[in-house]
Structure 1
Amino acid sequence: MSGRPLIGVSTYWETGTRWGVWELDAALLPTGYPLLVRRAGGLVAMLPPDDPAHAAAAVARLDGLVIAGGPDVDPARYGAPRSPRTGPPATERDAWELALIEAALASGTPLLGICRGMQLLNIALGGTLVQHLDGHTADVAGVFGRHPVVPVPGTRYAAAVPEETVVPTSHHQAVDRLGEGLVASAHSADGTVEAVELPAARWVLGVQWHPEMAEDLRVMRALVRAASDG
């Protein structure tokens, strides 16, 4: 293909958002995501929640897909009772983003899951989550923490980022049982799975941290390169 590949990025869906003198519902995406895609060589298309029946048609128009971070996934999606420390459900996002992931997997569209997006990828393939763990957020609300992650040699992630790196992180849930076909491709010092990938697929990767909050473009560049190669 010629030109920049079109990368779809899922969005938040917020009610009662203040816009100047207006208070309106809004589809939101922190600017770090489109800036990261642009800097890595892609064009951005925002994908706010929609009818899951339209997910395959949306993905068919894309060269690559990013499932963005956000609120906790409803534990009902992976057959678990709700922990008191799990946040309120984002029903529309869960349904839409799971449908986008399933469409990308079915079509071979390169896919990157970021934080919540990695967790949804795991759930889409039959995996489960730990509903609370400590030490992966900053002590101050609204601030990203930082910690090192170590790649697993021989993985797709290690091919893109072969060395230990310090990454921006803000999550209190994590992968528990891996979904079918997924392998862990990075870990933190406490053993938490920090990246997963699907070796049998064309290009599918999930990272538990937030590359849109860092200067390292290598993960997004790998997605954009895979989207361009299509």
Structure 2
Amino acid sequence: MKKPPILVWLPADHRLLGTGERSMPFLVLGDKYARAVKADAHAQPVLFPLVDADQIDELLALVDGVMLTGSPSNVHPTRFGADLADPTLMLDEARDDLTLGLVQACVAQGVPLLGICRGFQEINVALGGTLHQKVHELPGHSDHRQSPDGSYEEQYGPSHTVRFEQDCVFARWAGADHAMVNSVHGQGVGRLAQGLRALGHAPDGLVEAFEVEGAQAFAYAVQWHPEWKVAQNPLSVALFHAFGEACRARQVKRLGR
């Protein structure tokens, strides 16, 4: 009998596409995230487009992992007790409504969890942490944004190093105590949530990678974008491979096979 596919839940973004009176709501998933799950975690990405928060548990029972993607939108500052500093900030409160509860459920139930960029920030906020809304305006911090006018090759090209904690899992995946990463974000971790352990920092001290301490399953997140051209980056390859292996282990437990 053919084995069932490994299923990884990715959240959809809620976007208005089009202009003026011709704009319409769409549910959007970035192609590069889905392809990284399919090609590099060797799993099938799945969407539950119109999920209510009270459906999280019943839908988690159907999947083997969750990957929280990056997005042009940001976690709403009210979710971490702050006022909105920039009224032009792209937000997605419908996604916030889902993902913050989804993080908590994954941690509680031992569902493999990988967070990327916005997903990294969602995990921190869901577990009680805060975000800096404008990292580039903080004294002593770098500008972690990229020019929107640059090509995607430029925007997602290597930007700065991340130095990893000694002997942590990221150092093992990278085969070194540091790695070059891209940087495409305006917000960043302010106060790290209790129960998270920082495993990597940018040169300016900003947290770039963390783990959920004592997690029952894979539970890691990064501020950069490892889904960009995964095969060209050994750290990204190792990260997605480890996530896929954790999802396979979850399926064995979930299906009893």
Give the aligned length.
Answer: 226
SS in 2 for 1:218: helix
| Larger CA deviation: 150-159 vs 199-208 | 150-159
Give 2:145's aligned residue: 137
Q: Pairwise mapping of residues 134-213 of structure 1 onto structure 2 (< 5 A)?
A: 134=136, 135-141=143-149, 143=152, 144-145=155-156, 146-163=159-176, 164-201=178-215, 202-213=217-228
- What's the CA shift for 1:155? 2.4
Higher helix share: 2
Are the structure 2 counterparts of residues 47 and 210 from structure 1 closer, same or farther at C-alpha, using a change threshold of 3 Å?
Answer: farther
TM score, norm. by length of structure 1: 0.90
Q: Please tell me whether residue 224 in structure 1 is matched to residue 253 in structure 2.
A: no
SS in 2 for 1:213: coil
Give 1:14's aligned residue: 15
Give 1:58's aligned residue: 59
In the alignment, is the contact (CA less than 8 A) between 2:13 and 2:92 conserved in 1?
A: no
Q: Please tell me whether residue 112 in structure 1 is matched to residue 125 in structure 2.
A: no
Large movers: runs of 4+ above 3 Å? 140-143
Give 2:253's aligned residue: none
Give 1:35's aligned residue: 35
Give 1:97's aligned residue: 99
- After superposition, the CA RMSD in angstroms is 2.1
| Larger CA deviation: 110-119 vs 205-214 | 205-214
Deviations 1:188-229 (A, max 9, x none): 111111011112002111100111113232211111111112
Separation in 1, partners of 2:131, 2:76: 10
| Larger CA deviation: 216-225 vs 150-159 | 150-159
Identity of matched residues, %: 31
Q: Which amino acid aligns with 1:27?
A: L
SS in 2 for 1:50: coil
Separation in 1, partners of 2:118, 2:50: 15
Give 2:129's aligned residue: 127
Pick the structure with greater CA Rg.
2
Structure 2 gap ranges (5+) = 137-142, 251-257
SS in 1 for 2:135: coil
Separation in 1, partners of 2:226, 2:117: 10
TM score, norm. by length of structure 2: 0.81
